[in-house]
Amino acid sequence: MAKTFLDVLRGDRRDPPPIWLMRQAGRYLPEYRELRAKAGGFLDLCYTPEFAVEVTLQPIERYGFDAAILFSDILVVPDGLGQDVSFVEGMGPVLKPVRSAAEADLLSMDGLQKTLSPVYEAVSRLTTRLGAETALVGFAGAPWTVACYMVEGQVSRDFHTVKAFCYSDPEGFGRLIDLLVEATVAHLSAQVEAGVDALQIFESHAGVLPEPEFMTWVVEPIRQIVYTLREKWPDLPIIGFPKGAGPMYVPFAEKTGVTAVSLDTAVSLDWAMDALPAGMPIQGNIDPVFLLTGGKEMDRAVERIIDVCRARPHIFNLGHGVDKQTKPEAVQRLVSKAREFSF
């Protein structure tokens, strides 16, 4: 059976469009909360293959999405490089900050594959559990976004520390980015070898940099990752998600080599239809808050997005992830509405 998600990434249009949601597996689902309590810590959930497999499958079994995305986290990469990483209830990720080139030089690729081997085992198991019609998406955080967490040490509102590092010592910061490019290629390659069908690169903090630095620290590292992967897998579908990039979506789409771009909620679809490279598939971009409000307003938003995007290959998704306060029945209504729409 054909995987419509992959058909769209190859440039075909599908009616209705395939659908999956960022953070489709997570705290809004009661079955996730039950398994999370059983697992203990968040990283235990990520690094225990049987748990990661079950969490990945939960939204597929509940909603029948056209793609499953591996349950993991972008911060397993710094964990694998030797940085202290933990997840604190009520705070989120907490890392021992890397604030200088000397501290970055203490990190190493030596333990990456061993630390992350449970992730690849989960991928391998998922390939035997998913139906023939469901694609499996692997992922990683982009080097700039991962570096933001590594340098700031936690979620940041202003990114002053990481920006000061890259502005004041671009050579030293560049060494950290180079290490992350190498680690990200290794991490994504292992996922492909284990059986994922496509990849997504999350650049969640793309929108915080000025244009010259955006080209240096967002576009160029992702370009290196994409082209290195394509040397081995020329037809590998890769989605880029430069959240908050605004008009910089255009050089991102043109220069990184990604197959498709995922659009955040703030991107004008009418603008994107005209500005992005002709024929490039797009993904997105309904506001996750519509899942909190639900009702006819959400229905109209679904209809508008599918209507505007019909001129391109389109994967229906959110402009960011499902909020933890979302009710599962709201997601079901969203899926049902998207699937009843016809051109």
Every domain of the chain and the residues it spans: 4-340
CA atoms within 13 A on the CB side of 156: 20
Catalytic one among 73, 197, 287, 299? 73
The closest of 254, 255, 273 to 263, measured between CA atoms, is: 273
pLDDT tens-digit map of 231-284: 999 999 999 999 999 999 999 999 999 999 999 999 999 999 999 999 999 999
Indicate which residue of 13, 27, 223, 310 is catalytic: 27
Instruction: Exactly one of 28, 32, 36, 79 is catalytic; name it.
Output: 36
What pLDDT is recorded for position 1?
Answer: 60
Q: Is 264 a catalytic residue?
A: no
Predicted confidence at residue 332, as pLDDT, reads 97
pLDDT score recorded for residue 122: 98
13 is catalytic: no
Residue 312 is among the residues annotated as catalytic for this protein: no
Task: List, for the chain, all residue ranges whose pLDDT scores fall below the cut of 70.
Answer: 1, 342-343
Q: Which CATH number fits domain 4-340: 3.20.20.210, 3.30.365.10, 3.40.50.970, 3.30.70.100?
A: 3.20.20.210
Tell me how many degrees the CA angle 51-130-13 measures, rounded to the nearest 5.
125
pLDDT at position 322, please?
98
Residue 342 has a pLDDT of: 60
For 79, the token pair is 């964990």
pLDDT at 50: 98
The CA distance from 54 to 64, in Å, is 14
State the pLDDT at residue 250: 98
129 is catalytic: no
Q: How far apart are CA 263 and CA 93, in angstroms?
A: 25
Q: Are 145 and 203 in contact (CB under 8 A)?
A: yes
Q: Which member of 23, 66, 287, 299 is catalytic?
A: 23
Assess whether 149 carries a catalytic annotation.
Answer: yes
Active-site residue, from 32, 47, 149, 249: 149
